[in-house]
Amino acid sequence: MTNATSAASAATSSEIWTGLIAGGITHAISGLGDLVGEEVRTTFISPRTLPASQVNELIGGPETDVVAIHLGVKGEATGHILVMFKPATAFELVNMLLDREPGSAYELDELALSTMGEMGNVMGAYFLSALGDATGVRLMPSPPTVMMDMAGAVIDAAVADIMGDGDDILVVETRFGTANQQIHGIFLVLPNPQLKEVLLDRWAKQ
């Protein structure tokens, strides 16, 4: 294989991977309609690859507080899904999911934790279902963990498990919501090398 052919193949694999993940996230967001009782649509989605060391800056810096939902991926291969919101945005998301007035939620109390955990369950199931439909790979989400911590600590903990600081992360910024309310969120998809390889290989054989 020539260098030019190799570069073209890598570019194609990157585009396929980004398309798979973006499609999975769009499907996951649509699943929130099951919780809200009305259509939830993605109005903006912007996937890009960044060095792990730069991801913190998207949310305001490593010391910025975030509310995060973490799900492990298990099955034929493993990985992580991390969804992050600024606290004020997370509370408005809870209000949207519970059909409450804006400003009703202002802390990560038991009800907010439970609501965001259920959101994680739904989004994880829809996301991995979309990947499975596209590739034929059987994947399942772990139970979600909801936390509020500094962005640097949240990201470093997920990255340290399977990636190095020099590795790139696929980051997907989104805006989604109902006809009356929009939410901005950041999704990080952290596959181990085997997961990415398996998904791309099965996609090519579909």
Assigned token pair, 193: 């090398």
Q: Could you tell me which of 175, 158, 185 has the C-alpha nearest to residue 87?
A: 185
Strand partners of residue 71: 81
- The string of pLDDT tens digits covering residues 10-24 is 558 889 999 999 999
- The string of pLDDT tens digits covering residues 181-193 is 899 999 988 887 7
- The string of pLDDT tens digits covering residues 24-72 is 999 999 999 999 999 999 999 999 988 877 888 888 888 999 999 999 9
Determine the pLDDT at residue 175. 95
Domain 3-205: top CATH class: alpha beta
Domain ranges of the chain: 3-205
pTM value is: 0.87
For 8, other C-beta atoms within 10 Å of its C-beta total 12
Helical (H) or strand (E) element with 149: strand 145-150
Q: How confident is the model at residue 90 (pLDDT cuts 50, 70, 90)?
A: very high
- The string of pLDDT tens digits covering residues 94-133 is 989 988 887 787 788 899 999 999 999 999 999 999 999 9
